Chain A
């Protein structure tokens, strides 16, 4: 299983691809909406791309709990373990 940093880096690549936010800005403490300005539609795109990349399932009802990049990384770590 990928390390926390590997997941963060992978997620940062996805966020950059979809939203144009610089990958370096995608840090664990950042809020997707407040810090990275990612709207709900783009968030769905990020989630689907993350599912594909990390081989996990992130149900729609979980997405609202993923406020920060750290939340998403933790969820992917747990879901993949």
Chain B
């Protein structure tokens, strides 16, 4: 135990998500437990010339959920964020804007990230500029494409005035958002923070760009078999889209209002590889550092960790680096920690990946079940982890901890530690 003065504990009191396997948290969770893949062959008219023609689209299109006029003022990434925010807010027991829900708006914050921002809005407005001239560029283009737009729109939706922030670190963005929110509450800047992230870049330029950097799988055949973290025959990730948000709250605030608590967000650890702009450090030094920081921050011993929701995107180098790093930190305990890679089912949500992994981890602690990793037909001999395959696995009872990993291009590593309360 450390001897620092007692600091605020932070708990998770609400969950919201829209993902490739479900338009809300409950549907997503059931689909993950059932091992359902959300990866499909794209039918858009632009895919024919593309080197990759599959992706994991959101299971429920935002146009089915949001009123048309509201949706047309929002980039798709902000649409996902708003949908997830409404679900998380209601799940936490709040109704209406923060003041209407009995909260002080100055004590309610938002940290909502995206990895790339409103890229499709930018591109469609560029098309308008090139084809029809400057007059046809939308006056809403900037407020729609700015990377802070999802955070700003969630802040407007909830009348959250403690601050609306948007950390950007590629595929670890939404885990950084949660870590940032943890600090906001610990430092007394807010009592309630809605934190997570979103991404919506399944369009020609990102698909071509990710493909040309040799990040995407080019595997042919059944699209549901393409994302295969930890499998010997994996060859890259599958692009996904969607978003999620958690309602984080100081434990005392949650207790005072009698809120349901899913789990404690016990700590966070972040690091930078400083190794290569896009490649994983094969020795996983940055991951090791972030994991150790998270354990220390959460005041956890290695043996308290009973589950890890891995970053594992299905790239040849990245999955092994994560295994190397986890074995380095956990030592002999590594072989008794069930891990899973939900990207096998939902693909890689980039800026939305960390939060969807985080809320899956929270639900794993809450329900005592770890969803399986699908498509591990032949476990890579270089992966030395207890990968949950085929069927969900029961999680140990008691106040155990679980980690969530998210790593981003640029060498960003963010590890979150949750503990059952």
Contact = CB atoms under 8 A, between A and B. Distances in A.
A41 B69 contact: no
A19 B69 contact: yes
Interface of B: 67-69, 72, 135-136, 138-140, 143
B139 A20 contact: no
Given A18-B69, A20-B68, A20-B69, A41 B143 contact: yes
Interface in A12-27: 18-20
A48 B138 CA distance: 9
A44 B139 contact: yes
A37 to B, nearest CB: 12
B67 A20 contact: yes
Given A20-B67, A20-B69, A48 B140 contact: no
Pairs of residues from A and B, 5 with the lowest C-beta to C-beta distance, nearest first: A20-B69, A44-B139, A41-B139, A41-B140, A48-B135
11 contacts: A18-B69, A18-B72, A20-B67, A20-B68, A41-B140, A41-B143, A44-B139, A45-B139, A45-B140, A48-B135, A48-B136
B185 to A, nearest CB: 33
A11 to B, nearest CB: 17
A29 interface: no
A6 interface: no
Say whether chain A's binding surface is mostly helix, strand, loop, or mixed.
helix
B269 to A, nearest CB: 41
A5 B92 CA distance: 50
A44 B68 CA distance: 19
Interface in A21-69: 41-42, 44-45, 48, 51
A45 B138 contact: yes
Contacts of A19: 69
B177 to A, nearest CB: 27
Contacts of A51: 135
B338 to A, nearest CB: 49
A42 to B, nearest CB: 8
A54 B86 CA distance: 40
A16 B399 CA distance: 55
Given A41-B139, A41-B143, A51-B135, 11 more contacts: A18-B69, A18-B72, A19-B69, A20-B67, A20-B69, A41-B140, A42-B139, A45-B138, A45-B140, A48-B135, A48-B136
A46 B67 CA distance: 19
Contacts of B138: 45
Contacts of A41: 139-140, 143
Contacts of A42: 139
A10 B362 CA distance: 52
A41 B139 CA distance: 6
Nearest to B69: A20
A26 to B, nearest CB: 14
Contacts of A44: 139
A67 B143 CA distance: 24
Most A-side CB within 10 Å, residue of B72, B138, B139, B143:
B139
A11 B82 CA distance: 30
Contacts of A48: 135-136
A45 B138 CA distance: 7
Contacts of B72: 18
A42 B143 CA distance: 12
A20 B140 CA distance: 16
A25 to B, nearest CB: 14
A48 B140 CA distance: 13
A44 B67 CA distance: 21
Contacts of B135: 48, 51
Contacts of B67: 20
Nearest to B137: A48
Nearest to B68: A20
Contacts of B140: 41, 45
B176 to A, nearest CB: 30
A45 B69 CA distance: 13
B236 to A, nearest CB: 40
Contacts of A18: 69, 72
Contacts of B69: 18-20
B397 to A, nearest CB: 51
Nearest to A51: B135
B376 to A, nearest CB: 48
A19 B67 CA distance: 11
Contacts of B136: 48
B145 to A, nearest CB: 14
